[in-house]
């Protein structure tokens, strides 16, 4: 009877190989997802070694908006929301159906105008523009328009507001 090591005896050793390069042995692992990474896969970050996937995921959350994107977002929402609010407030209760649509159109125009760049405060700036325009349109339906359209814009712009 020979006591040759079975495959189960070797199993723990296999788990010290890089997840993307099965032939490379490594002691490093990503400190975010725990995946094993070899020296060429590891990315040194201020918080330790990470795998390329986690680094990429992190980078997509970075601010990419330029300063003028905020001006563009504020200007568009001020102008368009001012117009939409003034028009829709005259329609009475129809505003309940049309305000979210107007908010959707306004956010789509803003998204395109800023080249889909991301900014931490873009949705707040857009809502600020809408509120400013709303000051000139103070009426019951004007306020209802503002509440519905602004919440739509906030929800739609969340994807570019990090």
Query: Pick from 28, 29, 36, 41: which binds Zn ion (CB under 5 A)?
Result: 41
Q: How many CA atoms lie within 13 A of 131 on its CB side?
A: 8
114 is a contact residue toward Zn ion (CB under 5 A):
no
Number of residues counted as binding Zn ion (CB under 5 A) = 11
Q: Is 23 exposed, middle or buried (0-12, 13-18, 19+ CB in 10 A)?
A: exposed
Only one of the segments 6-14, 41-49, 81-89, 129-137 lies at the binding site for Zn ion (rule: CB under 5 A); that segment is: 41-49
DSSP 8-class letter at 22: T
106 is a contact residue toward Zn ion (CB under 5 A):
no
Asked if 30 contacts 87 with a C-beta cutoff of 8 angstroms, the reply is: no
| Smaller CB separation from Zn ion, 41 or 146 | 41
Q: Which residues bind Zn ion (CB under 5 A)?
A: 18, 20-21, 30, 32-33, 35, 38, 41, 51, 54
């Amino acid at each position: 009877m020979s006591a040759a090591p079975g495959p189960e005896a070797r199993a723990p050793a296999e788990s010290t190989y890089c997840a993307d390069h099965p032939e490379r042995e490594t002691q490093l692992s990503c400190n975010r997802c725990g995946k094993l990474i070899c020296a060429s896969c590891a990315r040194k970050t201020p918080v330790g070694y990470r795998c390329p996937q986690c680094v990429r995921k992190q980078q997509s959350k970075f601010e990419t908006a330029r300063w003028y994107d905020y001006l563009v977002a504020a200007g568009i929402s001020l102008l368009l929301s001012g117009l939409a609010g003034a028009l829709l407030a005259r329609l009475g209760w129809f505003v309940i159906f049309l305000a979210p649509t107007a908010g959707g159109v306004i956010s789509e125009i803003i998204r395109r105008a800023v080249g889909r760049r991301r900014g931490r405060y873009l949705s707040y700036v857009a809502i600020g523009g809408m509120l400013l325009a709303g000051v000139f349109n103070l009426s019951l339906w004007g306020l209802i328009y503002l509440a519905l359209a602004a919440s739509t814009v906030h929800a739609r712009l969340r994807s570019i507001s990090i």
